[in-house]
Amino acid sequence: MREPRFWYPPRRGATPLLPSRLLAPAGWLYGLAGHIRRRRITPERAAVPVICIGNLTAGGTGKTPVALTIAERLIGAGEKVHFLTRGYGGRERGPIRVDPARHSAADVGDEPLLLAAVAPAWVSVRRPEGAAAAIRGGAEIIVMDDGFQNPHLAKDFSILVVDAATGVGNGRLIPAGPLRERVDDALERAHAIVLNGRGHAADGIAARARARGLPVFNAITRPASPLDFGDMPLLAFAGIGRPEKFYRTLADLGAEVAGTIDFADHHMYTESDALRLLVRARERGARLITTEKDAARLAHAQAGSARARLRDAAMQLPVRALIANIDTLMAQIGDAARRARRRRS
């Protein structure tokens, strides 16, 4: 699904507001339903600390790179980290441990495949059951990728990731805008904010967070390891929430981007898509490059297919979040984990 253009007007008055206004009553009902759901459900507390990386809006804010960065730091500190996620886009409801050798993105979604390359990852629509399965599997701390709005599992430390370039868009609730819930409701439950990328659209959110005493951290997305782009121009393609962020990262790294092709978030590439990309790259004398998430959706392409040829031809750009003052953030997470363990002992 592509986000409606009126969710993120480039500037006030630049796009018609009528669709958003017409959908505002539906957004109000959506927000009310979520608020009532969170008030009525008593969260279950897992036997180990739960760290949640969530967001305020639908679409890509860079949650997964932040989750990967934090998990790697926890692992480096000696923690036995397991990931827990819903597995958006996959058919499995779980709880199931992700096996990248056996599961495809159609099974478990693309993001769990990335998570599983760093630490054991569990897909579960019912988060408490997923947490229990992870604990039986050896988890001593759980990092949730998404799930901030899910009220069934208690969180010991919640980080909201906000796109610095787009903020909360028009500030309305789904479907009138991109918000999953009211900003003030979310800030009441958050423990820290990460502003991801460059821009000032989220300055208002940051100010409101600081007024509540919440720490705010800045982050940018950078390659997980050095990458040689070679001498050929690049044809970049992406099916993620914010394709332009991927293209901007390439430009920031000094790559020569000859063209870009966008697909919907979590797009499952077809043979026709693959042929189109391969032909376009040949016509432009360019090398294909895509995101790690997009590559995960091509990983199990059938040998000899156009999708397999695309998988083999395209470079991928694995990324992590480079978080300023991350030692401070990790200390706060560590303190929360110790408090949680004391409460459970």
- DSSP H or E run through 339: helix 326-344
Domain of residue 206, residue span: 50-221+322-344
Residues 271 and 329 in one domain: no
Residues 211 and 108 in one domain: yes
- Give the integer Cα–Cα distance in Å for 147 and 43: 12
Percent of the chain with pLDDT over 70: 97
Residues 209 and 331 in one domain: yes
33, part of any domain: no
Percent of the chain with pLDDT over 90: 79
CB 88 within 8 A of CB 109: yes
161, part of any domain: yes
- Confidence check: pLDDT of 11 > 80: no
Q: What is the pLDDT of residue 17?
A: 66
Residues 115 and 232 in one domain: no
Q: Which residues pair with 122 in a beta bridge?
A: 84, 97
Residues 6+ apart with CB under 8 A from 309: 274, 278
61, part of any domain: yes
25, part of any domain: no
Residues 177 and 112 in one domain: yes
Residues 216 and 235 in one domain: no
Residues 6+ apart with CB under 8 A from 180: 34, 55, 56, 57, 58, 149, 173, 174, 186
162, part of any domain: yes
Residues 217 and 86 in one domain: yes
Residues 138 and 249 in one domain: no
Q: What is the CATH number of the domain that holds 129?
A: 3.40.50.300
Q: How confident is the model at residue 228 (pLDDT cuts 50, 70, 90)?
A: confident
Q: Where are the beta strands (DSSP E) in the chain?
A: 50-55, 81-85, 96-97, 121-123, 141-145, 157-163, 192-196, 216-223, 234-238, 257-262, 287-291, 315-317, 319-323
Q: What is the pLDDT of residue 1?
A: 59
Residues 67 and 196 in one domain: yes
- Give the integer Cα–Cα distance in Å for 244 and 250: 10
Residues 215 and 249 in one domain: no
Residues 247 and 295 in one domain: yes
Q: What is the pLDDT of residue 61?
A: 86
User: pTM (2 decimals)?
Assistant: 0.91
pLDDT tens, 304-314? Answer: 999 999 999 99
14, part of any domain: no
Q: What is the CATH number of the domain that holds 264?
A: 3.40.50
Counting the structural domains of the chain, the total is 2
- Confidence check: pLDDT of 345 > 80: no
Q: What is the mean pLDDT of residues 310-339?
A: 96
pLDDT tens, 189-209? Answer: 999 999 999 899 999 999 999
pLDDT tens, 81-138? Answer: 999 999 988 999 989 999 999 999 999 999 999 999 999 999 999 999 999 999 999 9
Residues 98 and 83 in one domain: yes
